[in-house]
Copies of this chain bind each other. A is one copy, B any other.
């Protein structure tokens, strides 16, 4: 087993988010399904952008948010994902490095611009995402820093990468390397529509390559085409070392070797924007996991991080997350 100099390394789309307010009518008029992610080409994305209100820009990307969160918690984090050498790419790079995440993937010097995600936040604090993948789909095996992957205790993959064939290949290659070096592989299913697009591939991956699985209720029921959450639970149990299944305000359920642990949701203030809730749950969970906490404590840490990020606009905690954890969960971390 390779010496582990990093706790978690993530591979994902490198995205800058544009957060705007919208109402249910706007979603309906544009054929968008609340709470999900829709892919767009650049022309569609530009047209939609022209029809929304003033925005707020912030670095995003599902796995990138998770790895930024782990770094904020004090973990040793690395991220692999591709931006273009443009202004948004520079913002993405700055922000993830600024919190202490190692990020060395070279920027593309030609081709599509840095990925953008238009996030429509409705008055109920739900987020609906419209993503132009841009430069991020160009990630391929040669962009992988294999040394970094080998040095990680856990390799974390976001399901969204499945929407790009190059990225998917890079992804599977990385999982094999991680395991060959004694690391574990974690996967987030990302989005119910994404699961629907790539179900067979995900089913095979979960059975053969994944140690830690993250999914919300919609995603796990979609994966197993189950009629209920309970049926999905029966299906997933035992297929990977641990499955952390999130259920919004109902908290989460952690299925582990030591049993099934219901974890309460944490509410730290008024709900503002759910963007990043799943990403930060994964950050807290994986940070706990790589620090040796038991699965239940990992879930509690995930719940706390998710509970913070939903009280603000945007997916990267704007507070001292490590200090918050110390004040809420004590000094164990």
Q: Which residues of A contact B (CB under 8 A)?
A: 18, 21, 49-50, 52-59, 68, 86-88, 91, 94-96, 98-99, 113-114, 313-314, 316, 318
A21 in contact with B57 (CB, 8 Å): no
- Chain B residues in 8 Å Cβ range of A56: 56-58, 314, 318
A94 in contact with B57 (CB, 8 Å): no
Partner of A313, one of B21, B68, B318: B318
- Chain B residues in 8 Å Cβ range of A94: 49-50, 54-55
- Chain B residues in 8 Å Cβ range of A96: 54
**Known contacts A87-B87, A318-B21; is-contact A57 B54 (Cβ 8 Å):** no
Q: Interface SS of chain A: helix, strand, loop or mixed? A: mixed
Listed A/B pairs (17) with beta-carbon separation below 8 Å:
A21-B318, A49-B94, A53-B98, A54-B59, A54-B94, A54-B96, A55-B58, A55-B91, A55-B98, A56-B56, A56-B58, A56-B318, A57-B58, A57-B91, A86-B87, A87-B88, A87-B114
Closest chain B CB from A135 CB (angstroms): 12
Partner of A87, one of B54, B98, B113: B113
Report Cα–Cα, A57/B52, bound state, in Å: 17
Report Cα–Cα, A87/B114, bound state, in Å: 10
- Chain B residues in 8 Å Cβ range of A318: 21, 56, 313
Closest chain B CB from A107 CB (angstroms): 14
By beta carbon, the residue of chain B nearest A113 is B87
By beta carbon, the residue of chain B nearest A116 is B87
**Known contacts A21-B318, A318-B21, A318-B313; is-contact A53 B99 (Cβ 8 Å):** yes
Closest chain B CB from A97 CB (angstroms): 9
By beta carbon, the residue of chain B nearest A95 is B54
By beta carbon, the residue of chain B nearest A46 is B90
Closest chain B CB from A322 CB (angstroms): 13
Report Cα–Cα, A47/B64, bound state, in Å: 24
B316 in contact with A54 (CB, 8 Å): yes
By beta carbon, the residue of chain B nearest A88 is B87
Report Cα–Cα, A94/B54, bound state, in Å: 7
Closest chain B CB from A123 CB (angstroms): 11
Partner of A99, one of B18, B54, B68, B313: B54
- Chain B residues in 8 Å Cβ range of A55: 58, 91, 94-95, 98
Report Cα–Cα, A142/B23, bound state, in Å: 41
Report Cα–Cα, A53/B49, bound state, in Å: 28
Closest chain B CB from A275 CB (angstroms): 13
By beta carbon, the residue of chain B nearest A320 is B21
- Chain B residues in 8 Å Cβ range of A91: 18, 55, 57
Report Cα–Cα, A91/B52, bound state, in Å: 12
By beta carbon, the residue of chain B nearest A68 is B54
By beta carbon, the residue of chain B nearest A121 is B318
Closest chain B CB from A117 CB (angstroms): 14
